[in-house]
Chains A and B, each alone.
Chain A
Amino acid sequence: MAKTPVQFRLNGSDKAVFVDGGENLLNVLRRGVGDMSAKYGCGQGTCGVCTVLVDGEPQLACLTLAETCAGRSVDTALGLSDGPNLHPLQTAFMEHFAAQCGFCTSGMLMAAKALLDRNASPTREEVAEAISGNICRCTGYEPIINAIMDAAAKRGGGSNREQGHARV
């Protein structure tokens, strides 16, 4: 099959890869450049574990043609931390116990980052809406929503922050 050269920026670094016609971005990330942070779940855009940002917009990498990413910026969960310093969302996910098996986590983080980048102080409903395309089997979503609300509050937004649901 003919290969097409594609150049794009991944987490701020230039990448150049040869892709097959019709090859999806997820495959290029995982097999082409070795970024395993976006997960392969359903492969048809219904689970959200492959969520990455393309020019800042959340996209499902399994449904994104790699060729369409030429010249664009792709951000994955691998690029969230600044060296040893975690991104505020990653810290909040840890503090709120928002991961159990962890398979949905990188997709959740990217969906959350896309939200907070365009809305610094979302309501609880807006957070739920932003992650409604991401399936989590373990947490019941509540710790994830709490973590995103907390990350927003600590980044200076968060005027709409409400109490978490669970009380122990």
Chain B
Amino acid sequence: MARHRGRGMAAINYPIGMNLGGDPSQALVHSNPEGKFTVTLSAIDLGQGMKQVTRQIAAETLGVPIADVYVDTADSDTGPHDMGSFASRGTHRVGNAVAAAAKEARGVMMEAAAEELEVNAADLDTDGRGNIHVKGAPSRAISVKDVAVAAQFRQGKTIAGRGIFLIPLSEVNPETGEMSPVSCYAHACLVADLEVDDETGEVTVLKMTSAYELGRAINPKMVEQQLVGGAWMGMSHALFETPEPYYPDTAHGPRDFNEYVMPGPGDICPHDIAVLERPAPDGPFGGKGPGEMCANPVLPAVANAIFNAVGVRVDSLPITPEKVLRAIKAQGGARPQGAPGGRR
């Protein structure tokens, strides 16, 4: 009886969003009379950072300080329509809608500033610190706040913008079945190193090493946060969790956290991550978004590493000690596959 080490890898090509009906998102941006902007969305931040990322996109597009932008995701009754938070679509779909809305609002803001400064709007630029000035003449300037006051109380203008992002519905070719359901792919490769105990069937993940290509990392720390947390969830799905509805009978399902097994803080392993930024042509500032892709490659990499360690293919999830032991028994013992190039 022994513990066998194994290494497995997986590479994925991950579609951002889905195109069943166009997958649209809408955004509204407006300024209040003191020159602060509100982005109104129905998209929901579940903790993945959508509010922060859309706030950055809005501030950058408007050309105002990020402190002057508030993102309101409170209410789908009063906010513009959004398909929801799923399919890793937030940064790409919602971000594009916010960029479009902020661009339209910026246009009105610059027209209002042009009227106050008595210049052509095309000659104006923002400094990102709350001022609008004539290009090449920073002293010929007006604050965004003064523009907002003028627009509201003198010019009768609404500094506001509407944005929608919609990819036309992809029709299926009836002859070939071909379609183009997505426009934007992210990519990842992950290597899992683990140990399989051929006496207990227990799998211990020792290390993960990964590379992610997800367009521009609009907020690099939040990307890291997503990748670290998502990899844990992938490991949990690979080895521990049995989600609905895959029980033989739902009566066999867990009723609480005593029975729904997940790895705890003592079960985590080192994870080296490399983030590659290849801006997406159709993403907001090139962003695609990590999303569900954080968890996905872990599962096949773990399954492959178990095969490498003991020579068994477990083809259902989670890969529990019972399944590993049964498979080892069925093939008459562990058969370590060895390592190319003499690793170990």
Interface of A toward B, CB cutoff 8 Å: 42, 44, 46-47, 97, 99-102, 125, 127-129, 131-132, 135, 137-145, 165-168
A97, A101, A125 interface centre (most CB from chain B within 10 Å): A97
Interface hits, B257-275 → A, CB 8 Å: 257-258, 262, 264-266, 268-275
- Point out the residue from A128, A145, A166, A168 that lies within 8 Å of B220, measured CB to CB: A168
Contact A138 B270 (CB under 8 A): no
Interchain nearest-CB distance for B234 vs A (Å): 10
Contact B47 A140 (CB under 8 A): no
Contact B233 A137 (CB under 8 A): yes
Q: Does B167 lie at the interface of the complex (its beta carbon under 8 Å from any beta carbon of A)?
A: no
- Point out the residue from A127, A135, A139 that lies within 8 Å of B228, measured CB to CB: A139
Closest to A41 in B: B257
* A109 vs B224: C-alpha distance when bound (angstroms): 22
* A18 vs B221: C-alpha distance when bound (angstroms): 46
- Chain B interface size, as a band, is 20 to 34
Q: Within 8 Å CB of A139, what residues of B? A: 225, 228-229, 232
Interchain nearest-CB distance for B340 vs A (Å): 25
Contact B268 A142 (CB under 8 A): yes
Interchain nearest-CB distance for B336 vs A (Å): 27
Given A128-B265, A144-B265: A138 and B257 interface contact (C-beta under 8 Å):
no
B227, B228, B273 interface centre (most CB from chain A within 10 Å): B228
Interface of B toward A, CB cutoff 8 Å: 46-49, 220-225, 227-233, 256-258, 262, 264-266, 268-275
Q: Within 8 Å CB of A143, what residues of B? A: 225, 228-229
Interchain nearest-CB distance for B306 vs A (Å): 21
Contact A140 B256 (CB under 8 A): no
- Point out the residue from B228, B265, B269 that lies within 8 Å of A132, measured CB to CB: B265
Contact A100 B272 (CB under 8 A): no
A44, A99, A101, A141 interface centre (most CB from chain B within 10 Å): A141
Q: Within 8 Å CB of A141, what residues of B? A: 232, 264-265, 268
Closest to B273 in A: A168
Contact B257 A42 (CB under 8 A): yes
Interchain nearest-CB distance for A99 vs B (Å): 8
Contact A97 B224 (CB under 8 A): yes
Closest to A97 in B: B225
The 17 sampled A-B contact pairs (Cβ below 8 Å) are A42-B256, A97-B221, A97-B222, A99-B47, A100-B47, A100-B225, A127-B265, A131-B265, A132-B264, A132-B265, A140-B228, A140-B230, A140-B232, A143-B229, A166-B270, A168-B223, A168-B224
Given A46-B257, A100-B48: A166 and B264 interface contact (C-beta under 8 Å):
no
Interchain nearest-CB distance for A157 vs B (Å): 19
Contact A100 B229 (CB under 8 A): yes
* A104 vs B84: C-alpha distance when bound (angstroms): 23
Contact A166 B257 (CB under 8 A): no
Given A100-B48, A102-B47: A166 and B262 interface contact (C-beta under 8 Å):
no
Interchain nearest-CB distance for B46 vs A (Å): 6
The 3 closest A-B pairs by CB, nearest first: A140-B232, A101-B47, A100-B47
Closest to A163 in B: B270
- Beyond the given A135-B264, A140-B228, please list 18 additional residue pairs across the A-B interface where CB-CB is below 8 A: A46-B256, A46-B257, A100-B48, A100-B49, A125-B266, A139-B225, A139-B232, A140-B229, A140-B230, A142-B268, A142-B271, A144-B265, A166-B224, A166-B271, A167-B272, A168-B220, A168-B223, A168-B274
Given A129-B266, A140-B232: A166 and B272 interface contact (C-beta under 8 Å):
yes
